[in-house]
């Protein structure tokens, strides 16, 4: 399977200038590709991918208006064309129904005002030197803060500059799946806001609320940014300070989610999670708390690590009444407002904790989907 290994890089001032030039050229080539495709579509002329690349790269370098494209590596420009091609393919596949997931819109032009810049290079555009530095074509050797060894030779590298001014190198490597020793435990997970997750075995994971804890600092940084004059150097400095504050919150949340998901995968052979509609919940009055909880990122990490380490992962349908169903007798007791955290089943009289009962039901429903074809038991014992 393919994974990304990301490391911090520290370019010199001259290398930052070369990277900024590469970022700009990649953006221009990407926009030119979209413009050529839109023009050919409006004229009713079919144009192949090779013709688009020849027009926006090979022919454009010979013109006075685009002669500066020759100052960067051709690998960067070719990959920008491939990105534009992939954007159109994803759009067409989404319209025809071949692409799963939510609908993908028409490719949009890249803006020079975007503070996150990326370029991608394949194997003929970069090398990892023996001294631990990464050589990029027409940029030079970049200093890399290696935190771990790469499991195999990378097939490509993406150089990223985020909004806070940090540079990263993201390597795509192929790794072998390494199944963990089998364990007998299985778990269903009910995600929430006041408590981040309640497991069917009774364990509770408290919500760290990283954004809420840093909200005052973020508000002050944004307020300072809004008071600076547009185009001034002070506004640039204030923007970087605000971006660094937001990056710190995001990095802390991501690190915490990695640790929690890894622990869950190590301790359980099968993991079942409710398929929540995060996009819809983010439009409600709970939007800030939903984004702060980051359920989607956590579920995605659990799913990816389950595939890597040989665990079972399944999502329970979002319309499954996990909070309304009695985990003891199976009677649907009806919907309840969020303020109700404890309830008693009117059929069997068992008192339930709302979150724990939902986690047990998610475990039972996920296990039913997993074992249904195998003829195994599909209901948990009382």
Asked about 355 being catalytic, the answer comes back as: yes
Q: Count of CB atoms within 10 A of residue 27's CB?
A: 19
Closest listed residue to residue 268, CA positions, set 184, 346, 382 = 184
- The one catalytic residue in 186, 274, 292, 333 is 274
**Who's near 375: CB < 8 A, 6+ residues apart?**
none
Q: Are the beta carbons of 324 and 282 closer than 8 angstroms?
A: no
| Spatial distance between the Cα atoms of 17 and 13, rounded to a whole number of angstroms | 7
Tokens of 143: 């200093």
Q: Are the beta carbons of 167 and 10 closer than 8 angstroms?
A: yes
| Spatial distance between the Cα atoms of 267 and 257, rounded to a whole number of angstroms | 16
- The one catalytic residue in 32, 190, 292, 303 is 190
SS3 21: helix
Q: What's the helix, strand, coil split of the chain in %, to 5? A: 45, 20, 35
| Spatial distance between the Cα atoms of 243 and 232, rounded to a whole number of angstroms | 17
Q: Which residues are catalytic?
A: 190, 274, 355
């Amino acid at each position: 399977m393919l994974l990304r290994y990301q490391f911090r890089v520290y370019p010199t001032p001259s290398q930052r200038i070369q990277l900024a030039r590469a970022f700009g050229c990649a953006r221009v080539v990407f926009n030119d590709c979209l413009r050529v495709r839109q023009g050919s579509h409006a004229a009713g002329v079919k144009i192949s991918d090779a013709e688009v690349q020849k027009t926006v790269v090979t022919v454009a370098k010979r013109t006075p208006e685009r002669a500066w494209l020759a100052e960067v590596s051709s690998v960067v420009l070719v990959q920008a064309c491939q990105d534009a091609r992939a954007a159109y393919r994803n759009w067409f596949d989404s319209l025809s129904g071949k692409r799963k997931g939510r609908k993908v819109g028409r490719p949009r032009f890249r803006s020079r005002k975007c503070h996150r810049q990326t370029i991608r290079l394949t194997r003929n555009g970069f090398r990892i030197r023996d001294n631990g530095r990464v050589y990029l074509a027409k940029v030079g050797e970049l200093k890399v803060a290696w935190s771990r060894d790469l499991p195999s030779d990378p097939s490509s590298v993406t150089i990223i500059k985020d909004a806070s001014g940090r540079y990263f190198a993201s390597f795509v490597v192929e790794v072998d799946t390494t199944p963990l020793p089998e364990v007998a435990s299985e778990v269903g997970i009910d995600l929430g806001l006041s408590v981040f997750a309640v497991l069917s075995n009774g364990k509770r994971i408290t919500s760290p609320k990283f954004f809420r804890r840093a909200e005052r600092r973020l508000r002050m940084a944004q307020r300072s940014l809004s008071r600076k004059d547009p185009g001034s150097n002070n506004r640039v400095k204030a923007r970087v300070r605000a971006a660094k504050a937001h990056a710190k919150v995001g990095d802390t949340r991501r690190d915490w989610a990695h640790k929690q998901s890894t622990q869950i995968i190590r301790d359980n052979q099968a993991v079942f999670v409710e398929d929540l509609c995060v996009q819809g919940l983010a439009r409600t009055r709970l939007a800030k708390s939903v984004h702060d909880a980051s359920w989607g990122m956590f579920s995605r990490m659990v799913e990816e690590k389950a595939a890597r380490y040989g665990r079972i992962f399944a999502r329970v349908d979002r319309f499954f009444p996990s909070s309304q169903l009695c985990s003891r007798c199976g009677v649907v007791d009806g919907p309840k407002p969020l303020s109700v955290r404890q309830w008693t089943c009117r059929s069997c009289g068992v008192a339930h904790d709302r979150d724990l009962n939902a986690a047990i039901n998610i475990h039972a429903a996920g296990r039913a989907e997993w074992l249904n074809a195998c003829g195994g038991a599909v209901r948990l014992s009382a």
